[in-house]
A and B are shown apart, each in its own frame.
Chain A
Amino acid sequence: MLLHFNKRIPIYLQVLDWFKKRIVMGEFKRGESIPSRRALAATLKIHPNTAQKVYKELEEQQLITIERNVPSKVTMDQSVIDQARTELLDNTVTQFVESIRALQISLEEGLINFEKEYTIRKGSELDA
């Protein structure tokens, strides 16, 4: 649940990001209907016009389809979703690399720690 906004980054981008993540993660499944703009605004506590902006952007990126009088749906096109997934991955990787580089950590050390943390996380998820 997106409850805490970074006030230095455009709000609508953060909501867009959150929404894309949900689509990529499959919480909003391919072809399924998504919450209305109003519902989204109420849930995330944003101005309805921000929700409107996000939906418009999602439609432009072809991640959702909007039709009149019918709830909007996630696209059926898996390739679009995959593309979004790649984008998100790229962003995360870029952030990670930037952080490590800023701390002047080497590639090997970075990778070792990365793998360790990843394994731990995956393990605890399986246990849970």
Chain B
Amino acid sequence: MLEVRGLQKSYGQKKNVLNDVSFTVPLNQLTCLIGLNGEGKSTILKAIIGLIPVEAGTITIDGEKKQECITFVPDLSTMPSYMSVGEAIAYMRDYYPDWDPQVADELLGFFKLVPTDRIGNLSKGNKAKVNLLIGFAMNRPYLLLDEPLAGIDLFTKEQIAWIFSSHYMEGKGILMTTHEIAEVEHLIDRVIFLQNGTIIQEEDSEEMRELYGKSVQDRMREVYQT
């Protein structure tokens, strides 16, 4: 279990962009971080992985600080534009000892990516697929996905969504931010509602349905429109 405790972040005048943010991300489940634009979802993911420093807060995995168990999949390209897809994969293989080349190969085939294509020339959808390929082939138990479906065409979305129903999900705890709730609602196990840098609610989506007959979108409306 990935546990986030007491994340605190201010940007100078903008105080408490993250205000005592605490939540958990269980293994073998898909947790969705929900919030309106600019509420700090992306900031939280980046803070967890260490790209953004925080004033306070701890990130532990089963009680220990094990950063090497977390992978961050951003919504933009992080590999140099001049690199080809194949070179990017080789790069990752060289730097990351736990890299799984078989997963990389499989996803390369499934996503229909061409190894010689330059990353800079890829469409947004293909860039997203490369990011996802890298994220899963890194073979780490916890994945942070930042808007994996944002601004992507229908067919690419389907390919990406397929991953969430595949065996690649097994043994993984995923924390995802997305605006496309409708598309992934049936896949989400837990939802975390964020507002103004504070966690308002952490809920199990199936419980929400069972006990209250509410969908995640229903709940969103309740939470954000009061």
Contacts and interface: CB of A to CB of B under 8 A. Distances in A.
Q: Do chains A and B touch in the complex (CB under 8 A)?
A: yes
B170 A46 contact: no
Contact of B162 (A10, A12, A42): A42
B164 interface: yes
Most buried by B among A7, A9, A45: A7
A38 interface: yes
A44 B186 CA distance: 11
A78 interface: no
A41 to B, nearest CB: 5
Interface in A30-60: 38, 41-42, 44-49
A5 interface: yes
A24 B2 CA distance: 42
B222 interface: no
Contacts of A48: 165-167, 169-170
A11 interface: yes
B28 A49 contact: yes
Contacts of A68: none
Nearest to A42: B165
Interface residues of B, number: 24
Interface stretch (B39-47, B51-59, B77-85, B210-218): B210-218
Contacts, number: 55
B189 interface: yes
Nearest to B182: A7
A42 B161 CA distance: 10
Interface residues of A, number: 17
Interface string A1-23: 00001011111110000000000
Interface string B175-217: 0000000000111010000000000000000100110011111
Given A7-B216, A46-B187, A48-B170, A12 B161 contact: no
A49 B165 CA distance: 9
A7 B162 CA distance: 19
A29 to B, nearest CB: 25
Most buried by A among B29, B30, B162, B186: B186
Contacts of B186: 5, 7, 11, 45-46
Most buried by B among A5, A8, A46: A8
B205 to A, nearest CB: 8
Nearest to B188: A47
A47 B164 contact: yes
A38 B162 CA distance: 12
B215 A47 contact: no
A78 to B, nearest CB: 31
| A-B interface, 6 closest residue pairs, ranked by CB to CB distance from nearest | A7-B215, A5-B186, A10-B209, A10-B206, A41-B165, A45-B165
Given A38-B166, A49-B169, 6 more contacts: A5-B185, A7-B215, A9-B209, A38-B167, A42-B165, A47-B165
Interface of B: 28-30, 161-162, 164-167, 169-170, 185-187, 189, 206, 209-210, 213-218
